Amino acid sequence: MNEEEQKLNEVLMLFYFGYRTFTEKPDQMIEKYGIQRVHHRILFFIARIPGITVNDLLSIIEVSKQALNAPLRQLYEKGLITMVQADYDKRYKQLYLTEKGKLLESELSHVQHEQMKNIFTSLGGNHQEAWIDVMKELSRVRPGQKQFQALLKENLEK
């Protein structure tokens, strides 16, 4: 096996281990709320796009509506999100974080922010930019990512 192959194998391994570390802390934190990683993802995306509809949210996360429904209801029951009938079309339900939800989401994001920030600053240079560039290339093809960008743009224009 040549050196490039070895390096690429290291990349595969690092992706596995890196992602595991990345999700570890929030996973532990939300345990005591009786929720899981899906719920965290939902909170994250609602925080980025307040007022997002159910359909848009499931397009972003790329799961079926049945898979989203239960976690969404659980978040509602735990008082972490609210659902508001849209006045421009009563079929749509708009999702928002409650104050409690905002607090939890920001705590979870904060932990991950700190973790990544510490690494980026300790490595210095343009490590952050380079890492982002690589991950953007991977994300480019995701339908969910495209949907997210479109909604973000819409939100800014309003």
63 near DNA, judged by CB under 7 A: yes
User: Which of residues 2, 16, 89, 90 is near a copy of itself by CB under 8 A?
Assistant: 16
Which of the stretches 56-64, 103-111, 122-130, 139-147 binds DNA when contact is defined by CB under 7 A? 56-64
When CB distances are held under 5 to 8 angstroms depending on the partner's kind, the choice from DNA, a copy of itself, none that residue 145 binds is a copy of itself
User: Which of residues 11, 67, 84, 86 is near a copy of itself by CB under 8 A?
Assistant: 11
When CB distances are held under 5 to 8 angstroms depending on the partner's kind, the choice from DNA, a copy of itself, none that residue 21 binds is a copy of itself
- SS (HEC) of the chain: CCHHHHHHHHHHHHHHHHHHHHHHHHHHHHHCCCCCHHHHHHHHHHHHCCCEEHHHHHHHHCCCHHHHHHHHHHHHHCCCEEEEECCCCCCCEEEEECHHHHHHHHHHHHHHHHHHHHHHHHHCCCHHHHHHHHHHHHHCCCHHHHHHHHHHHHHHHC
In the complex, the residues that contact a copy of itself under the rule CB under 8 A are 4-5, 7-22, 41, 44, 48, 62, 109, 112-113, 115-117, 119-120, 122-123, 125-128, 130-139, 141-142, 144-145, 148
